[in-house]
Amino acid sequence: MERTLKGIPAAPGLAIGQAVALKRTADAGRPAVTGEVALDPASEWVRFGQALDQARESVARLEERTRREVGEAEAAVFGAHLLMLEDPELLERVKAGIEAGSPAERAVAAAGEELAGIMAGLDDPYLQERALDIRDISRRLIAALRGEQEEEVGGPAPFILLADDLLPSQTARLDRHRVLGLATAGGGPTSHTAVLARSMGIPAVVGLGAGTLDGIADGVRLILDGAEGLLILDPSEETLTRYEELLAQREVERAALSALRHAPAQTADGHRIELAANIAGLQDLAAVLEAGAEGVGLFRTEFLFMEREEPPSEEEQYAIYREVAERLAPRPVIIRTLDAGGDKPIAYLGIEREENPFLGWRGIRYSLDQVELLRSQLRAALRAAAHGSIRVMFPMITTLAEVRRARALLIECEGELRAEGIPLGPVEVGIMVEVPAAALCADQLAPEVDFFSIGSNDLTQYTLAVDRGNRVVSHLYDPLHPAVLRLIHQVVEAAHRHGKWAGLCGEAGSHPDALPILVGLGLDELSVAPPSVLRVKAQLRGLTGAECRRQASDHLKTGT
């Protein structure tokens, strides 16, 4: 018999499918720990420190995956988790528990639950929902202590996932091809789980109420309406037909968007923009080709260095770069050299924890100190250029000397390969403009490079002195702030004065409010996440150059 549950709309969209319940979700959030007593608190503290390092690496990988597959803003969820792992109050509580004789697992569970309880008891709904984030990192620490792998979420076929609650890390790891929608008994619309679901395009209903999902057997047919906050169990034929018609209508709309795949990325009055995609590896190529992107505007090669115990060899990198170049030829592929450090710690690279990692040993600063790693990347890229259109881009540039040293190393690598009789191809050379110093000195840097690519995320963060992952100040993070736009405009003008082109590969490129302004500033290229390519193209084709220039001018003057 049909039954309707009413919850809180969390992510819009419709889903019709079979139920799969996530078992023991609450226990995953509040991990039970056996009561054995630690004999040596000092050893337990060392063990906890090792687990903490593992948890940091695990969260950093998840942050990078979320940045790559979902978006920069959503990845900030796990940037916040990294900060929680450094929280002195959490560490002090864990240490006190260990010194009192508890094993590290029990100390972590107790400390995490105490802090989560404090957050859950606050009046602010936003802060209440951060309790789940604390339980998430507590669970991750205990899994690291136990040597456990992260569990798979869900079943083998497309399904609607039911859970008491869902941790942010579980949500980020959902396979969007298998999960049609999700419904939770707890949670709210501002939870990180809800934010991630919206960004991943997974319809979601939260806050259905304690116990409401108990007893729903796997395989029961469900309809989930994320916009209305409805979960319909055992729908009648009439209800099912109505929702199937709505789904069919949505498919028609998606097909219209898909029809733009081979259409040019240009405004209604013919102003052309090169529209590329950001990738982190071979797994992203299918989405790039499906979206009809005009190339890869940012290959985040640091992802190739993660989830392993040593750097990839030149041969490994060459094989990957070559495959990307061949599959996308003749479209260009911009390979950004290793951008480790900052929010991307990789343990084996020897980058120690820093007081201010975003201001520290990262990007080109690290690579120029570890030239063999950079040399292997450049040689691999030059070799791949024999099979397609390869461009190389250096991150975190601040000075002219850095550009010249990096280019000199590239020339050395070209000479080595020729001397060894190894085929290579020509590469264009560009830099990331992420630091205000580079933007302000763009006229001096432009003669040294073939192109600029503006990293709007870091440029905004550095210009406004705002950590976008810090909930207390994140409302000040504004890529459309006049100061940021003036820097972007200055970079574009400097590039054009020297006959070079300028692109942007930050999150702002896919933001509907930012797109007309960025086009109006004169950017030649935009690179966005593959799922955003068609939507950006559709919006671009509805704009006019004159309107874009007007909006850009207004924002440069007033920020409105």
Residues noted as catalytic: 192, 505
Measured between alpha carbons, how far is 396 from 374 in angstroms, rounded to an integer?
14
| Token representation of residue 234 | 């055992």
Alpha-carbon gap, residue 358 to 83, rounded angstroms: 13
Nearest Cα neighbor of 271 from 540, 501, 508 is 540
Return the sign of the alpha-carbon dihedral for residues 532, 533, 536, 539: negative
Written as one letter, the residue type at 77 is V
For 158, how many CA atoms within 13 A lie in the half-sphere containing its CB?
Answer: 10
- CA 377 to chain CA centroid, Å, is 23
Full strand arrangement of the beta sheet holding 159-163: 3-6, 230-233, 221-225, 14-21, 159-163, 179-184, 204-206, 8-11
Q: Which two tokens stand for residue 10?
A: 């969390």
HEC profile of 208-269: CCCCCCCCCCCCCEEEEECCCCEEEECCCHHHHHHHHHHHHHHHHHHHHHHCCCCCCCECCC
CB < 8 Å & 24+ apart, contacts of 184-190: 184/208, 184/213, 185/209, 185/210, 185/211, 185/212, 185/213, 186/210, 187/8, 187/10, 187/129, 187/132, 188/8, 188/10, 188/125, 188/128, 188/129, 189/8, 189/9, 189/10, 190/125, 190/126, 190/129
